[in-house]
Amino acid sequence: MVFIITLSQHDMPTIRHPRIVRPDVLSGLKRTSILALLSPFADYFAARGAPLDEIGDDNVPLNDVVSVIASPVESSPPDLVERLELLDLISGTQSTINFEDGYGKLVDKLREASDSPDDLAVKILIHAPDVAWREFDRQALQARRSLVALSVRPGLKFLPPNARRIDQFRDLVIPWFTANARSGICHVHAREESSGVSFVIRHGDLLKRIGVYEEDGKSGSRILRPERVDVAHYRHLTGEWQISGIGTRLQELYRQAFGTAFHGSANALVHSKRYSLEPLREGPSCLKCNLTSRIQVAELVSLKIELPSGNHVTIGGGDVFKGIREMNPMLLQTATLLEARINLKIANRRRLVPVILNPQCDKVSGIHLDDAIEPWLFERHFANDSHEGFVLESA
């Protein structure tokens, strides 16, 4: 059965409390772990009436410490907030990270018999922060995102990331974050991958007030600054950047900053014009795959089109091609194809990989999740190596 639906709303930003602020999580940590985690910020806790001197005693309640963490103020150390948020991501039942799989020697070195998984996470955060960040980056890069595709102007080489270039990138974006009420906190990590280089950009978002329940059961509110995580991928094979970021102003900021820091010119990156949905006009044959190939099955899950009348609709929920034929056999030829979601079954992957293409906005999603996707798109003419966009930019 095929459904026709109107455009969905954009996902609203979510706010997540660090797990450490909840008493049940604190009680799951040994007091020695809590002290190791918080002791670098002892002066801050003492200034807010929650000295850490006595919390090594199991009989001393943690209410004051929890209250300080749960109610950040202007003087709250950014490094404390970052440490708690990173601990939240690498520990607990919601985390998909298993340090024993990839870091067995480190686990054997740090873990004591009495350590809980959260105790181990604290030790890794303190003694091997690079491992904690590596796992955070890996999870962030695997998340589904809408990415803007940008190509590099001919003749401009990619300058590999180093500390100086990453600092240059931060220096370019932080003033915009500060001027637009997102705070001046910005952390950038680069990650070398087989297909290129990926970047994780963590920065503050606009302040939000949310309702909370105090420990005594009374309702109240807190003003928090949510964290925003953006990513960027540079592909050596295609010379293309794929960059996330909500809003045209932020995307333009990233376009200029990445161009300046990693190609030497603020105008190094232009919209790629590399993607197309035209093959879909041929019907189901354009997606037929060989089960012996790396990409074994491709299925059109939804298609957003503009009718000749100007109305926008999204078709999905079943066999999209059959639904279009039943509606109007000529629709694929007369409608403007705006956005398609194609699910790919890739060999040695359990889950389907969703790929979303929006050529008019140069937006893509999912292409970075497997090295086989880009060649498959090129083979099926959903992507090309044309630099048509450069003519428009330089005209």
Burial group, residue 376, by CB count within 10 angstroms (0-12, 13-18, 19+)? buried
- Sorted by where each begins, the domain ranges of the chain are 19-142, 147-271, 278-394
H or E element, residue 355: strand 353-358
- 224 CB neighbour count, 10 Å cutoff: 18
CB of 146 within 8 A of CB of 356?
Answer: yes
Q: What is the pLDDT along the chain (395 residues), one digit of tens a residue?
A: 233 332 233 332 233 344 444 445 566 688 888 888 888 999 999 888 888 887 877 777 788 888 787 776 767 787 787 777 777 666 655 555 566 666 778 888 888 888 887 888 888 888 887 777 666 666 665 666 778 889 899 899 999 999 999 999 999 999 999 898 888 888 898 988 878 899 989 888 777 776 666 656 677 776 667 778 898 999 888 888 989 888 888 989 999 999 999 999 999 999 878 889 999 999 999 999 988 889 999 999 999 998 888 888 898 888 899 888 888 888 888 889 999 999 999 988 878 888 999 888 778 887 777 788 888 998 999 987 654 433 222 22
Signed CA dihedral, 79, 82, 88, 89: sign only: negative
255: closest CA among 153, 331, 330? 153
Q: Cβ distance 83 to 133 under 8 Å?
A: no
Reduced 3-state DSSP string for 201-250: EEEECCCEEEEEECCCCCEEEEEECCEEEEEEEEECCCCEEEECCCCHHH
Considering only CA atoms, which of 109, 153, 135, 373 is closest in space to residue 264? 153
Torsion of CA 327, 330, 335, 341, to 10 degrees: 60
What DSSP element (H or E) covers 258? helix 248-263
Q: Can you tell me which residue has the tokens 């589904």?
A: 144
CA 27 to centroid of chain Cα atoms: 31
